[in-house]
Amino acid sequence: MQLLRRGDTGPAVAEIRATLVSLGLLPPTNGQHHGPAVFDVATEQAVRAFQQQRGMITDGIVGPATYNALAGARWRLGDRNLAYLVSQPITGDDVFALQERLLELGYDAGRPDGVFGKQTELALRSFQRDYGLGVDGMCGPATLRALRQLAPKVRGGRPVFLREQERVRMAGPRLRGKRIVIDAGHGGRDRGVLVAGASEADLMWDLARRLEGRMVATGMEALLSRGPDVCPAEAERAQFANNAGADLFLSLHVDANPSGLAQGVASFHFGTGNGPTSTVGEALAGFIQRELVARTGMLDCRIHPKTWDTLRLTRCPAVRVEVGYLTNPDDRRRLLDPTFRDIVAEGILVAVKRLYLLGKDDQPTGTFTFDDLLRYELAKAE
């Protein structure tokens, strides 16, 4: 498709504007203006806000990824019948809402990803069978009514996330053999945050390599989601981890803010706020956050649930860390120091170790060293 950006006009622009209005990101036009729709400054700002909400690159330009996300965002549950179409799966926010609802009711629709796949159909069929509805695997008016009337069957612990927990427990405490995908943010022509010649893409690539080296030394299989000079889409990075059968997905970014005062480290896991949450992702985000704050003295910007593509589309627990603000002088000074990047790599590795130890170690946060880890792995190998 043709990219749409500021200054463009036409029906596609009208469609984009209508969606942004329906999402409350753009004020409705007052009707005095009847000319062709224009991709104006306000539209660009609204596109940026939308991209930010969805964890996409916030360039204010509507390319294929943003266009598809906008198209999907138009659908509310009940707007159309939903079913599994093998050749062209239905995607959209209505599918996401259906998956969330099924999970709330205790049916394993898989990780909610807004794509109506086989797993969603199986969950929907189970639901229909249990509630005496026609079992056709399609979410039409009758099924929808039943879904809306029912109170959640289970509280806390959705099957798909309970299985994640079980997998971590079964995997055992050793790091050896675990397969981790390390995702350095941005890359190629997308430099990410760029301040005074320092780019997020390069810094996170360097951090990823440091982490990779340590992981390989402990016997883990570390895979990088991109090469040094390319920028795969977020969904492709998630797909890479799924194809590799990864145990964990770790995404590395820095943050930026127009105010140079904003600073600190934050970690993100899959979660919808008050709906489903990846409990393993949340635990790992918590360990990473605690280790990094203790080891670096950076401001603690806490952990947060998000539905960004890399967190949503990965089938394994996934965490995204934003290691400080490149726009803040203190954080930038740290990030530019290779020793700091070593400390961060070590902190993340120890956090992964803690996850697999299931809280069964007594080393206080921030004190476990890389050498301790190697000794542990060697002792267990005997």
Q: By CB under 5 A, name the binding residues for Zn ion.
A: 185, 192, 253
Q: Which is nearer to Zn ion, 187 or 192 (CB)?
A: 192
- Is the Cβ of residue 112 or residue 192 nearer to Zn ion in the bound state? 192
Q: Which long-range contacts (CB under 8 A, 24 or more apart) does 205-208 make?
A: 206/338, 206/341, 207/252, 207/323, 207/341, 207/344, 207/345, 208/182, 208/183, 208/184, 208/252
- Token pair 């999907």 is found at 72
Residue 352 CB, nearest approach to Zn ion (Å): 21
H or E element in which residue 301 lies: strand 300-306
Q: Cα–Cα distances in Å, from 91 out to 54, 116, 314, 337?
A: 15, 6, 16, 43
CB of 10 to Zn ion, least distance (A): 32
Quote the DSSP letter at residue 188: T
- How many other CB atoms are found less than 10 A from the CB of residue 133? 17
What is the distance between the alpha carbons of residues 74 and 376, in angstroms, rounded to a whole number?
52
In this complex, which beta carbon is closest to Zn ion, that of residue 43 or of residue 251?
251
Min separation Cβ 67 and Zn ion, Å: 21
Closest residue to Zn ion in the complex (CB): 253
At 131, the amino acid letter reads Y
Q: Quick one: which of 80, 89, 88, 143 has its CA closest to 116? A: 89
Whole-number Cα distances in Å, 197 to 2, 210, 227, 338, 376: 31, 21, 21, 16, 41
* Nearest distance, CB of residue 143 and Zn ion, angstroms: 40
Element spanning 250, H or E: strand 248-255
Shortest approach of Zn ion to residue 245 CB, angstroms?
A: 26
Taking each helix axis as running N to C, give the angle between helix 159-171 and helix 279-296, from 0 to 180 degrees, rounded to the nearest 10: 60
Report the residue number, 92 or 192, with the smaller CB distance to Zn ion: 192
* Nearest CB to Zn ion, comparing residues 253 and 306: 253
Q: Which is nearer to Zn ion, 97 or 250 (CB)?
A: 250
Least distance to Zn ion, CB of residue 265, Å: 13
CB of 186 to Zn ion, least distance (A): 6
Closer of 192 and 276 to Zn ion (Cβ) = 192
